[in-house]
Structure 1
Amino acid sequence: MRVVINGFGRIGRTILRQILTQPEHRDIEVALINEIAPLETCAYLFKYDSTFGPLPYDVVTEGTGLRVNGKFIPFSSHGALGGADIPAVDVFLECTGKVQSRDIAQRGLDAGAKAVLISGPSEYADKTIVLGANEGSLGDARIISNSSCTTNAIAPLMQVMNTAFGIERAHITTIHCYTSSQPMVDAPRGDLARSRAGAESMVPTTTSAAKEVQKVLPDIGERTSVAAVRVPSLSVSSIDAVLQLSSPIKGSARDTVLEAIKQSNVIGAIDDPCVSRDMRERPDSLILALPEIQTIGNSQLRLFGWYDNEWGFSARMIDMARLLAAQT
């Protein structure tokens, strides 16, 4: 599979790190990375990462690209990558976070890519697809939104739980690490709470997952509310979900839930009393904390799970790219 990565920020760099360090991705060729930041800066930020640590390979600039562990990766620095600038590839990974029109979303296709995969929510995508939730509805769509990291954590869980028990209604709170959308010191933002220093306070706020779950699972989404609290943590987030079930749980809630999530290939589980740091670089969309399962009666269920909002989401980007390449 040949890909272009447009945008070398947190997700673009994490995708490349997984491609280069995970043996199962040796078949992926990165034909081009486009990033407007200086090449020397790209090399430095790829080599030294505050979240995942130093890359275990040499990273050097060479001409118009980087050489990583002996492998050359070409770079370009176009503000609006398109047309002849894009080599022939299977999937165009749009990771800039700046798809502001259908024309921008279309550029990869116009250059000959089989599909475009956007690394976040987008109203300009043909469809929003979350693996483990609604990939069966992909059809012949060629511009796909991979939704958000939180939606990738919530939607597969809701899908398996609805299949197993039925969900009457649900409320989910994501406890999310701070991101670049928040300032490091107090500074004006449209959302006043998000104008406060992100590494200093817990910040109640909204989340795009509230609307995204409705896109991915319309029937379940209309019965689900989602809220968020940003917390002073560098990486790994969590969801705290309370579900009102249609069918009562019979027997051990832990064993029953564990059996249900076995139907998903993107949900993991942990039985140890872990903390967020322990979940870093886990590729699962969600890792259920089994000791945290609680019930009130036999039809109200509380679930708690972790997700590495960068590593897990990037893993799904690669998985989705493979699916798109195989279907187009």
Structure 2
Amino acid sequence: MSASITEHLDSWNQREAQAEAMIPLIGRLYRENNVVTGIYGRQLVNQSAIDILKAHRFARQVDEQELPISETLPLVQTLVRLDLGSASVDLARLNNAYKASGSADLEAFLREELADVVGKKGQGSPEPTDVVLYGFGRIGRLLARIMVGHASSASGLRLRAVVVRKGKGDDLAKRASLLRRDSVHGPFAGSIRVDEENSAIIANGTYIQVIYAQQPEDVDYTAYGISNAVVVDNTGLWRDEEGMSKHLQSKGAARVLLTAPGKGAIKNIVYGVNHTDITDDDKLLCAASCTTNAITPVVKLMHDEYGIDHGHVETVHSYTNDQNLIDNFHKGERRGRSAALNMVLTETGAAKAVAKALPDLAGKLSGNAIRVPTPDVSMAVLNLELDREVEKDSLNRFLRRESLEGPLHSQVDYIDSAEVVSTDFVGSRAAGVVDGLATITNGKQAILYVWYDNEFGYSAQVVRVLEHMTASAPAKYPSAG
């Protein structure tokens, strides 16, 4: 074996060992101090050594070089010694700040940078907020997965119950099985048990009460020790103020968040764009649609930077449970035809819904949708007429920079690989991912292609809205950058 081959293997083994040494430290910070660690939005909690190394590798997208794990390991070791309070810590940004400071004393730097939480021993976590999932379909189960994964008190969201209509047969076991196994998103990361006697599912230690009811007002949550709960309605059956208010008739329910476009005066919230419009007085809110979440952050970036005169949004959307597997009656036009065999032209209100988050664009966007025979991941094609001319390269540089460092970096991702296809975006936590190689410009015209996981990416946005509604997100460090 040549020396160069040996060097590469030795280097890999050394970095893998450092990542393995980091895992229990990340776990201690998470469980004992309520500290969530990450690298440019890539969470490190409950990750394998390989995943941790991949996150360090990803840092080159921002810093143009891989983040050395030889630098982050001592950083994490020092964080453990500081006995921190609740916080979210970005190791890459913290490491960059340390090198920029010129300090030779890592602990002294960290004590100053994290002064607000040093020695607080897990304190500072928000009071837990009870969350109820009304409906347990595609989005409901993904929300459960995300919240169970965040079950440390670093997040104030506490999943307490799901409400469903009882089906025939072994309903509880079947519900648990659907949470445990998913044909698109893979197996549940952890352990799931069923408590038949008490009608509950225990997922990674999170006790989830399963409540059977026909109507929202039939439920008394206080009978299960649930109070002041946020009810997340995943059914889409009640989308106006009158219908959504039925949930508030339930004892123990305080607020309602709808995972579908709301009607009338209901605020449609796209996290990152207009979430600051939420007030404590808002009892009924909606998290808009998956497509609205995918396109609105990108549209905001484009409008703020270049101005949008008008445009059209064409959505290539995976089929959903609303469609028929094979041809059968359906109240909607064309949706009765087989979802697995056809492209189905249908309508979308997502383009018009953008204006509910960005009022300046009212009447400026039109839209249509094509349902296609894939189970998950969709694409939005934004054909925009701008207020000024733009070149493809400068536009892509702008979008890439914003996806990494801008205020919408959690919502907008960017990729420029010539080999990616839809399945590569399954599990993406971004609201939308700009495909830079597909960008087209012609004078004032810009055409953007935006991938989005219409299930998981949307669910991540819903959780962000929940965290903001309930002030459940931990403080982020470093505070600048």
TM-score, scaled relative to structure 2: 0.64
Q: Per-residue deviation at 1:17?
A: 0.9
Counterparts of 1:125 and 1:179, CA distance in 2: 27
Aligned with 1:120 (options 250, 254, 260): 260
Q: Which moved more, 1:308-317 or 1:76-85?
A: 76-85
- Give the 5 Å matches for 1:204-283: 204-249=345-390, 252-261=394-403, 262-265=406-409, 266-273=411-418, 274-283=420-429
Amino acid at match of 2:174: T
Secondary structure of the residue aligned to 1:144 is strand
* Alignment pair present for 1:109 and 2:238: no
Counterparts of 1:205 and 1:153, CA distance in 2: 18
1:4-45 CA-to-partner distances (Å, cap 9, x unmatched) read: 111111111010011123577764311211111421221111
- Give the 5 Å matches for 1:181-220: 181-220=322-361
Partner residue of 1:132? 272
Aligned with 2:204 (options 57, 69, 73): 69
In the comparison of the two structures, how many residue pairs are matched? 326
Partner residue of 1:99? 238
Partner residue of 2:134? 6
Partner residue of 1:285? 431
Q: Per-residue deviation at 1:188?
A: 2.0
1:220-240 CA-to-partner distances (Å, cap 9, x unmatched) read: 141111111110001011111
Instruction: Flag the 1:170–1:100 CA change in 2: closer, same or farther, 3 A.
Output: closer
Larger Rg: 2
Partner residue of 1:301? 446
* Alignment pair present for 1:33 and 2:165: no
Q: 2:352, 2:366 within 8 Å by CA — same for their partners in 1?
A: no
Secondary structure of the residue aligned to 1:194 is coil
Amino acid at match of 2:314: T
Decide which structure has greater strand share: 1
Counterparts of 2:151 and 2:130, CA distance in 1: 16
Amino acid at match of 2:135: G
Q: Per-residue deviation at 1:112?
A: 4.2
Counterparts of 2:139 and 2:425, CA distance in 1: 17
Q: 1:7, 1:35 within 8 Å by CA — same for their partners in 2?
A: yes
Runs of 4+ more than 4 Å apart? 22-27
Q: Per-residue deviation at 1:84?
A: 5.8
Counterparts of 2:269 and 2:179, CA distance in 1: 28
Uncovered stretches (5+) of structure 2, i.e. residues with no partner = 1-128, 473-481
Secondary structure of the residue aligned to 2:261 is coil
* Alignment pair present for 1:310 and 2:455: yes
Instruction: Flag the 1:15–1:125 CA change in 2: closer, same or farther, 3 A.
Output: farther
Q: Per-residue deviation at 1:209?
A: 1.1
Instruction: Flag the 1:136–1:248 CA change in 2: closer, same or farther, 3 A.
Output: farther
Secondary structure of the residue aligned to 2:321 is coil
Q: Per-residue deviation at 1:169?
A: 0.8
Counterparts of 1:109 and 1:324, CA distance in 2: 16
Amino acid at match of 2:463: I
Uncovered stretches (5+) of structure 1, i.e. residues with no partner = none
Q: Which moved more, 1:170-179 or 1:80-89?
A: 80-89
Amino acid at match of 1:78: A
Secondary structure of the residue aligned to 1:317 is helix
Q: Per-residue deviation at 1:2?
A: 2.0
Q: 2:159, 2:206 within 8 Å by CA — same for their partners in 1?
A: no
Amino acid at match of 1:135: H
Q: 2:148, 2:206 within 8 Å by CA — same for their partners in 1?
A: no
Counterparts of 1:91 and 1:124, CA distance in 2: 21
Amino acid at match of 1:50: S
1:28-63 CA-to-partner distances (Å, cap 9, x unmatched) read: 311211111421221111111111112133323202
Partner residue of 2:300? 159
Counterparts of 2:299 and 2:135, CA distance in 1: 31
Secondary structure of the residue aligned to 1:193 is coil
TM-score, scaled relative to structure 1: 0.92
Partner residue of 2:193? 60
Counterparts of 1:291 and 1:210, CA distance in 2: 24
Amino acid at match of 1:148: S
Counterparts of 1:323 and 1:136, CA distance in 2: 8
Percentage of matched positions with identical amino acids = 30
Counterparts of 2:368 and 2:155, CA distance in 1: 39
Bigger relative contact order, structure 1 or 2, given CA contacts below 8 A and separation 6+?
A: 1
